[in-house]
A and B are shown apart, each in its own frame.
Chain A
Amino acid sequence: MANVIVDIKNLMRLFKMGEETIHALDGVSFSINQSEFLTIMGSSGSGKTTLLNIMGCLDRPTSGRYILDGTDISSFSKTELARFRNKKLGFVFQTYNLLARTSALENVELPLLYNPAISSKKRKELASEALDAVKLSDRMYHFPNQLSGGQQQRVAIARAIVNDPVMILADEATGNLDSKTSYEIMALFQELNETKGKTIAFVTHEVDIASFSKRTIQLRDGKIIKDEPNKNVRNAREVLQNMKVTAVP
């Protein structure tokens, strides 16, 4: 059996809004194996963002168990969670969240700056390797405002993989991009998943985008209503190729 990265059991997350208690997550259980590419889908209010926050160690569940890479983080303090995020996770956001007036290389270096075990030489090395992996080695010293949206998101992906995380969490990572660029990004994610064996959890509400992943979890009202492998996984690179052909005439 493959190595289990995420093991979630009966996860509950309640929010108190005045008198009312909202069950953002209401008994969610699933696990993710290493090298899986998983999509979490759901309409707004379904609890997918809450789930991603807990999976990303940004939030703690009200009850239930969350084991990430063999460690139960349910009882971790804020500081311990921060350290855990730094070493185990990579985030990709809808709005890229790159630091302005900071070169691509320095943006990618950022997570390593919070890890005192890594020397400044090693940091440069890892950051340029990560940029290489997203095919942006020729844009290392460009500022975000000199890069296109797709390039900025690729810098963000490089930042997410630079610390060699056990899982990459992407929150609507293609939400701000046109479809062609979205497919390029998905192609990159597929490549990272297949050639480097990266585990990826991808939150989206677009069925089109979800079809590039291997497995889909559908949430509604804080509960999982569907969790199954995708039958015909599309290849983003092929889709791109076909687009070009149809675009010519």
Chain B
Amino acid sequence: MNLLNLLRISWKAISRNKLRASLTMLGIIIGVAAVIAMVAIGQGSKQSIQSQIAAMGSNMIVIRPVSNVTGGARLDNTTVQTLTEADVNALRKKAQYITAVSPSVSARGQVINGPYNWTTTVQGISPEYLSIRGWSLQDGVPFNEQNMKAGAKVCLAGQTVIQNLFPDRENVIGKSIRFKHIPFKIIGILSKKGENTFGQDQDDIILTPITTVQKRILPTIYYQLIFASAISENATAQAMSEIEKIMRASHRLQPGIDDDFSIRSQAELINAFSSTGRILTILLAVIAGISLVVGGIGIMNIMYVSVTERTKEIGLRMSIGARGTDILLQFLIEAILISISGGIIGVGLGFLITKLVGVFLHWPTLVTQSSVILSFLVCFLTGVFFGYYPALKASRLDPIDALRYE
């Protein structure tokens, strides 16, 4: 048996009926293009959510105060006074699964530079905050421990703030801006971070030493939030339970009493959104997969018709020496050639649709290698599966009957 010859025979048989072959292919083309495009859209949205959340600091853990008083007037979580310096010190000393801890206190108000003013948030933090958030400086230097001790009037300004207070953006480092009559010297400019998943502008911020906010802006000894960074994304769960243990000890909470704080991690958020994305991807892939199956049934249908229509041809081929296997392989190869060619065109069309969706709808898309390989494999199997029975039927024809078929 010569596979090359059979390939040649099948190819000629297909090219003898181009219109029918291309119509059969159409089902597969649409199926594959749908799979590629749908999965690309699903994966794209999943990835964009993941990267946005990861940009906020993928190992980040946030500790918030929680009012555990039931009954009476319940306080807003941000004004509950439970997070203290002792908690931060305990975490720094005892925790093994976290690399950095930073408390945070924020105040909102107007900042002024000469004729320009802007309303923004001043967030007091410790120097570790930048590494927890995975944030870098575009220019200048971060503040140090000495600034922390002194409650120094220095700050790091976000891009949005700079844009609004220094329209010409020249020589920003070293300039002073006033917040509630206090002059702050800009020692660094934060790099651009963009909007977070919830549409907040993360660059609309001024970072200062926490001591400065606590002493000079809103006299308080409590923290509104504590940020921590787990040693790795996988260690987030251990880090969280460790933090809970240390915090309960630090707050002297008896067993059975609820936590007066809550711990949330980015990983949880990522998982929540990822699973939504995953469900979306699966749903889209299933819908697209159905159209691929329909395309496969189209192949089977046409191949059956083709075998009946070409009975005489099959009889002739057998009479001049084609064996049953040769006929089986010929029809099988025809089906596979149609489905594979449909697959190639379908992948191309899928890429095109994906591009168009990206350009015109501005949806995030991502064509994954696995979806291309998978749909190709499915195409091949579709050809084999739906081509086999018609081919078998053809190979079992009796040459005498087939030759006499009208």
- Interface set of A (CB-CB < 8 Å, partner B): 53, 56, 58-59, 78-79, 82-83, 85-87, 91, 93, 97, 99-102, 106, 110-111, 113-116, 159, 163
Contact = CB atoms under 8 A, between A and B. Distances in A.
A56 B320 CA distance: 10
B16 interface: yes
Contacts of B315: 97
Contact of B403 (A93, A102, A110, A113): A93
A100 B323 CA distance: 21
A86 B320 contact: yes
A82 B322 contact: yes
Nearest to B315: A97
A98 B2 CA distance: 22
Contact of B319 (A85, A87, A113): A85
26 contacts: A58-B318, A58-B399, A59-B400, A78-B324, A79-B324, A79-B325, A82-B318, A82-B321, A83-B321, A85-B319, A91-B319, A97-B312, A97-B313, A97-B316, A100-B16, A106-B12, A110-B317, A113-B8, A113-B9, A114-B5, A114-B321, A114-B323, A114-B326, A116-B5, A159-B320, A163-B321
What range describes how many residues of B lie at the interface? 20 to 34
Nearest to A106: B12
Given A97-B316, A116-B2, A116-B5, A111 B399 contact: no
Given A78-B324, A83-B321, A113-B8, A102 B16 contact: yes
A86 B318 CA distance: 9
Contacts of A91: 319-320
Contacts of A78: 323-324
Given A78-B324, A85-B320, A100-B16, 14 more contacts: A58-B318, A78-B323, A82-B321, A83-B321, A85-B319, A87-B321, A93-B316, A93-B403, A113-B8, A113-B9, A114-B5, A114-B326, A159-B320, A163-B321
A83 B1 CA distance: 11
Nearest to A50: B400
Contacts of B323: 78-79, 82-83, 114
A190 to B, nearest CB: 24
B12 A102 contact: yes
A86 B315 CA distance: 13
Contact of B16 (A87, A99, A163): A99
**A-B interface, 10 closest residue pairs, ranked by CB to CB distance from nearest:** A86-B321, A116-B2, A82-B323, A111-B320, A97-B316, A114-B321, A101-B16, A85-B321, A113-B5, A79-B323
B319 A99 contact: no
Interface in B22-38: none
A82 B397 CA distance: 13
A101 B20 CA distance: 14
Contacts of B400: 53, 58-59
Interface string B298-312: 000000000000001
A23 B403 CA distance: 22
Contact of A115 (B17, B317, B321): B321
A60 to B, nearest CB: 11
A20 B180 CA distance: 115
A159 B316 CA distance: 11
A72 B352 CA distance: 63
A99 B313 contact: yes
A58 B16 contact: no
Contacts of B318: 58, 82
B22 to A, nearest CB: 15
Contacts of B12: 102, 106
B19 to A, nearest CB: 12
Contacts of B319: 56, 58, 85, 91
A5 to B, nearest CB: 18
Interface string B223-243: 000000000000000000000
A87 B320 CA distance: 9
A83 B324 CA distance: 11
Contacts of B313: 97, 99
Interface string B357-381: 0000000000000000000000000
A56 B321 CA distance: 11
A97 B2 CA distance: 24
A115 B9 CA distance: 13
A78 B327 CA distance: 13
A115 B323 CA distance: 11
A201 to B, nearest CB: 14
A111 B5 contact: no
A97 B403 contact: yes
Contact of A114 (B312, B320, B399): B320
Contacts of B8: 113
A97 B399 CA distance: 13
Contacts of A106: 12
A112 to B, nearest CB: 9
A85 B399 CA distance: 12
B359 to A, nearest CB: 42
A56 B399 CA distance: 11
Interface string B393-406: 00000011001000
Contacts of A111: 320-321
